[in-house]
Amino acid sequence: MAPGFVAPIDPSGQGALYGPPPWRFAGRSLTVIARCDAAAVRALLPAPLEPWGEPLVRFSVHSLACDLGHGWDWAQAHPEASQFHESVVGIAASHGGTIGYWDPFLWTDGDAELAVGREMYGWPQRLGTLALTAPHPQRGWTPGDRCTGLVARLGRPVLEAGLRIAASGPLAVPQPPFVGFFVERALPDPAEECVRRELFLARMRDVAPGDAFHGPATLALHAPELAPLAPREVLGGQVNTISWTKGGAELLARSTVPFPRPAWG
């Protein structure tokens, strides 16, 4: 049998798009917190998840490096594969006494990040074009600086997030820790003509945020799927560094849904 963790599997074992877990991440983030319509937030949560707290939604843009399961030395030797951007819309949710995030929309410019997110866990990654302001390379962030995150897909804008740094420290807004994430994998089965849906709880390990700065923020949503989340109020934003390790996940629910029949067929 040819070696390799996932497709493409070839005799060299080097073709696989990513390696086995755990995967180690590190990078920078811009996050804007907005109060959105409670009914719109609830409509994005699959059963049996329930909303947690106020209808506050995280809109984040990340600049990240990941070892893709090959180790940090590999990541440093392969920046073309290990470095990427990601944008996440996150909703605070709960299930069975566990509080975490449900991410209904994600965009990335990394093919391995897109593949592992969709194939293994169920994060609904889509390809996009992303950009994030970097801090000054010598002095870092300082009050008065601006950070901007831009996301587009297929030539059309998705969202724009902006922050004017006011002070050091994280934004004082209630939100779950960056530890637990609810994800739903939906894989079509061509033989049975059904979609197998599996709800997981993925827990991050060794989470280490740092170098946080916060301030007033702006948010513009352009993608039509984001229209129901038009912010009622933008509470502010923050930039920070972060690192974490991602491994396995706990299965919470499983179901099977037949293929829908197209109206034109």
The answer to the question of residue 8 being in a domain is no
pLDDT tens digit sequence for 147-167: 999 999 999 999 999 999 999
Query: Residue 237 has what pLDDT?
Result: 98
CA distance 207 to 191: 40
- Whether pLDDT at 265 is above 60: no
Average pLDDT (54-82) is 97
Q: pLDDT band at residue 181, thresholds of 50, 70 and 90?
A: very high
Q: Are strands 83-95 and 156-164 parallel, antiparallel or unpaired?
A: unpaired
Question: What percentage of the chain carries pLDDT values higher than 90?
Answer: 89
- Residue pair 44/91 in contact (Cβ under 8 Å)? The answer is yes
Average pLDDT (104-125) is 96
The answer to the question of residue 45 being in a domain is yes
- Whether pLDDT at 37 is above 80: yes
Question: Own/partner pairs for 106-109, CB < 8 Å, 24+ apart?
Answer: 107/151, 107/153, 107/158, 108/84, 109/84, 109/85
Average pLDDT (77-88) is 98
Q: pLDDT band at residue 261, thresholds of 50, 70 and 90?
A: confident
pTM flag (> 0.75) = yes
Can you give the CATH number for the domain in which 239 is found? Answer: 2.40.400.10
Closest by CA position to 81, among listed 14, 130, 10 = 14
- Whether pLDDT at 28 is above 60: yes
Average pLDDT (27-54) is 97
The answer to the question of residue 14 being in a domain is no
CA distance 8 to 5: 9
Query: Residue 178 has what pLDDT?
Result: 87
CA distance 259 to 125: 21
Query: Residue 16 has what pLDDT?
Result: 87
The answer to the question of residue 66 being in a domain is yes
pLDDT tens digit sequence for 206-221: 999 999 999 999 999 9
The answer to the question of residue 12 being in a domain is no
The answer to the question of residue 4 being in a domain is no
Query: Residue 1 has what pLDDT?
Result: 53
Query: Residue 122 has what pLDDT?
Result: 95
The residue type of 80 is: E
CA distance 96 to 113: 29
Q: pLDDT band at residue 7, thresholds of 50, 70 and 90?
A: confident
State in Å, rounded, how far the first CA of the chain is from the last one: 40
Point out the least confidently predicted range of 6-10, 34-38, 62-66: 6-10
- Whether pLDDT at 2 is above 70: no
Bridge partners of 84, per DSSP, are 64
The answer to the question of residue 249 being in a domain is yes
Query: Residue 162 has what pLDDT?
Result: 98
Give the per-residue SS3 of the chain: CCCCCCCCCCCCCCCCCCCCCCEEEEEEEEEEEEECCHHHHHHCCCCCCEECCCCEEEEEEEEEEECCCCCHHHHHHCHHHHEEEEEEEEEEEEECCEEEEEEEEEEECCHHHHHHHHHHHCCCEEECEEEECCCECCCECCCCCEEEEEEEECCEEEEEEEEECCEECCCCCCCCCCCEEEEEEEEEECCCCEEEEEEEEEEEEEEEEEEEEEECEEEEECCHHHHHHCCCEEEEEEEEEEEEEEEEEEEEEEEEEECCCCCCC
Q: What is the mean pLDDT of the chain?
A: 95
Q: Which domain holds residue 185?
A: 23-258
The answer to the question of residue 263 being in a domain is no
Which residues fall within 8 angstroms of residue 15, CB to CB, at 6 or more apart?
Answer: 4, 7, 8, 9
- Residue pair 147/133 in contact (Cβ under 8 Å)? The answer is yes
Number of structural domains (the chain) is 1
Point out the least confidently predicted range of 4-13, 82-91, 170-179, 235-244: 4-13
